[in-house]
Amino acid sequence: MKTKKINIKQKFSKLSEYWSPKVLAEMNDYQFKIAKIKGDFIWHKHKDTDEVFIIIEGNMKIEFRDRVLKLSEGDLYVVPKGEEHRPYSEKECKIMLVEPKGTQNTGDKRGTLTAENDIWV
């Protein structure tokens, strides 16, 4: 169990690739992950879990089948379990995700954007 104090913003300096969430902390069987994102992600859903987005720096959008959501620094959004979504961002955006350990970034899809899971930052 890692229980060191973590400065969220500082940890982003350790990330290199976009769209590749890294684990920051674990709480019970949940993980806090950070990611830098830029450009387009793919449509996907997480059939077994909600997924929380917290915007640490910058702006991003999440497209749903019926709407587009704009998120800015300091916003929190819960993507409901099973709802198809597509995150994207014109400029670099820094986000924190909260979800059960083992949640795959591309959900029900596999592809070039599928990141290795459970890698700590």
Interface with its own copies includes 65 (CB under 8 A)?
Answer: no
Q: Where does this chain touch its own copies (CB under 8 A) — which range of 35-43, 74-82, 84-92, 110-118? A: 74-82
Nearest to 71 by CA among 45, 48, 108, 96: 96
Interface with its own copies includes 8 (CB under 8 A)?
Answer: yes
Nearest to 77 by CA among 90, 92, 91, 63: 63
Please list, in sequence order, all residues whose beta carbon lies within 8 angstroms of the beta carbon of residue 62, skipping any fewer than 6 positions away. 53, 68, 69, 71, 77, 79, 85, 86, 87, 88
What is the smallest separation between the CB atom of 6 and its own copies, expressed in angstroms? 5
What is the smallest separation between the CB atom of 121 and its own copies, expressed in angstroms? 12
- Write out the two tokens for 32: 């806090």
Interface with its own copies includes 110 (CB under 8 A)?
Answer: no
Nearest to 108 by CA among 44, 18, 30, 24: 44
**Among 18, 30, 43, 88, interactor with its own copies by CB under 8 A:** 30
Looking at the Cβ atoms of 6 and 119, the one nearer to its own copies is: 6
Interface with its own copies includes 5 (CB under 8 A)?
Answer: yes
